[in-house]
Structure 1
């Protein structure tokens, strides 16, 4: 009787329609620095992805197929990032990959995705060259973070608005720092300014007191520190130690929890570029942070921008999957990402048409906010911006002049 029953069950399973048999998940790759000095970015991005996947799977996934994350730790190391990119694309054969918080790691891995025509969504790294290396019309590389070209211009515009003219630059010697210095010099040049003083340092330093004394002695009236989270904290601490009260500016790395922790809170009042800030009066913003808190209890969040930009990117891919009408090949997904059927109301913004065949950067200059640290949390630098935050800043066309 047992053999008859077993045979009957087997026959029923084999004759069942495809949808009734085991459902194959849609595998999505993640490559982020989950350990080391950039881990606040990487782990926040990972949690952001997990929040999105949980939400999607709770309502049935993609046509009944759940999304499954295949997570890898690049340790902020370019060689490791390259190896993991090859693993996810060639061995794991994921549908798409989300990743990279460090520009140097991303740049070394890009060609793996491009050569194999595999979708890569860069959700943290900001180096201008990431989306410039390959022409968008042919590229499989997309990005939901703000490229350094617009971050540097945003900071210089703010400095000029304040009437400051003697700008000191304190920049690390990484690939990120090298590229950022070029963008800073170009942005200053467009304002008919030159760096008043420049100092360089290696990532991993514990103090910049001597460099800060030299920059203070130069007579500069503003400071831009260009580096990643922990070293941004070192810059802030050294500026305070030197008793130098000029305004400090920095890219999004200044907003990382590691910057706050390393500085012992001395980042307070520094100005930083942001695409999103905590805002309890914005429903999508507060809902996302509640979802984040169910997975991670860290306070403050390691990097809200990393988390939100990754969360939004997962949802943008899901919409592209529906727009591609069941074809999950990279060519179909690329076309769908470039030609969305409708807007997506995300955490960072409402994405009307984040990508096109001519532009693979979802963030334009008008979407940036000036943020700061206030009362141990990220906040809008200007109270007026906080009041205006409910007015969604949508992406401008590439031909339009970016405005704050």
Structure 2
């Protein structure tokens, strides 16, 4: 089968990178696999985006190894299932460090990440976060010292992006519903800040624990307060509870939020109550350019599916793996350690033409966030599928948006 031009370009880039530091045949034979950690919720209620994250990593690793890996050494994944449990995530993070991975890709839940990131920071083991969007994840440590990188749109850009959408639609009486996890709390604060910049305040704030099955009374309070839109920050099952509660009350107020409204546990769980929901996305599973078409085709072929449960998780994890691989491939063997990889991530030698975007200097010693607001689009649920809310977004998405200089967000 003839390879696409994207695959050939990637193969050429890796061939050139490998050649730059090619060891002798004897050294290659003596060297073992390069171990990379992967951690996320591979079972339990957050597995709907944990498994696509893992699959995105696996797809990239298979491609990289088919091109020769690192100096003839294969890249090997050490996979851990944190089950969205902070205490378990901490234990497994400590295991990854003890098992001497050179870096780790992972975390889908803000609470789990916040419990564990000290392990990677103190051991000087680079961590690239491809899913967790809670703003505090990359702000805990001073940027120049931080080993925590992210290739996902943090809530500090998702929240104002969606507030802009709300205001543009003429909705000004916002009710916020947020769970009591680290993700919900951080998202709540980001939405409040974004509303304040528009000189707005929420008319109602509802809080609930994970696992809640009925928020009828809180919905009634929000309706009584005159809310004309609900901004929600929680994971998919609770998103469905809110949507079905609105439907049961006959309250046709729109529901908007971050990327969790694109998850199948929300869409399939809420069914017709999910229709029309709006969310911030960095990637929509439509072949809007050659890179995305190739990625979608290769994912479908490898995992024998025509539908990625959470495409954004898979695409961001795939790109995160290549960003790490490009950093690793730029280093000679004697610098293949945490500080060396950190420096290589912060000072990339060439752009990486990824699925979500073109990564031209995605990180630096002062910036650990790869994605910026211009890369986001508004998604919507239509006939049980996620697509572009605006035709102009679909058109704009054909042109790859590169990273913007740091601004007010």
Scaled by the length of structure 2, what TM-score is found? 0.91
Gap runs ≥5 in structure 2: 1-23
In the other structure, the counterpart of 1:320 is: 327
In the other structure, the counterpart of 2:149 is: 142
In the other structure, the counterpart of 1:273 is: 280
Checking the alignment, whether the CA contact within 8 Å between 2:287 and 2:296 is kept in structure 1 is no
- In the TM superposition, what whole-angstrom CA distance separates every residue of 1:61-89 from its partner, at most 9, and x where no partner exists? 12211111110100100000000110001
Q: Does 1:311 align with 2:318?
A: yes
Q: Does 1:375 align with 2:383?
A: yes
In the other structure, the counterpart of 1:100 is: 107
Checking the alignment, whether the CA contact within 8 Å between 1:136 and 1:358 is kept in structure 2 is yes
Question: 3-state SS of the aligned residue for 2:199?
Answer: coil
In structure 1, how many angstroms separate the alpha carbons of the residues matched to 2:291 and 2:343? 27
Give the direction of change, closer, same or farther, for the CA distance of 1:401–1:179 in structure 2 (3 Å limit): closer
How well do the aligned residues superpose, as a CA RMSD in angstroms?
1.6
- In the TM superposition, what whole-angstrom CA distance separates every residue of 1:203-232 from its partner, at most 9, and x where no partner exists? 112233332222222211111111012211
- In the TM superposition, what whole-angstrom CA distance separates every residue of 1:183-208 from its partner, at most 9, and x where no partner exists? 11111111111111111111112233
In structure 2, how many angstroms separate the alpha carbons of the residues matched to 1:219 and 1:313? 43
C-alpha displacement of 1:22:
5.2
In structure 2, how many angstroms separate the alpha carbons of the residues matched to 1:304 and 1:40? 10
C-alpha displacement of 1:129:
0.6
- Pick one of 249, 252, 257 that aligns with 1:250: 257
In the other structure, the counterpart of 1:26 is: 34
- Pick one of 47, 57, 61 that aligns with 1:49: 57
In structure 2, how many angstroms separate the alpha carbons of the residues matched to 1:303 and 1:339? 30
In structure 2, how many angstroms separate the alpha carbons of the residues matched to 1:282 and 1:236? 33
In structure 1, how many angstroms separate the alpha carbons of the residues matched to 2:305 and 2:268? 12
In structure 2, how many angstroms separate the alpha carbons of the residues matched to 1:345 and 1:242? 47
C-alpha displacement of 1:243:
1.8
C-alpha displacement of 1:283:
1.4
Size of the aligned set, in residue pairs, is: 385
In structure 2, how many angstroms separate the alpha carbons of the residues matched to 1:257 and 1:300? 10
Q: Does 1:393 align with 2:404?
A: no
Question: 3-state SS of the aligned residue for 1:302?
Answer: coil
Question: 3-state SS of the aligned residue for 1:21?
Answer: helix
Give the direction of change, closer, same or farther, for the CA distance of 1:84–1:216 in structure 2 (3 Å limit): same
- In the TM superposition, what whole-angstrom CA distance separates every residue of 1:309-352 from its partner, at most 9, and x where no partner exists? 11000000111112223321111111111111111111100111
Q: Does 1:346 align with 2:350?
A: no
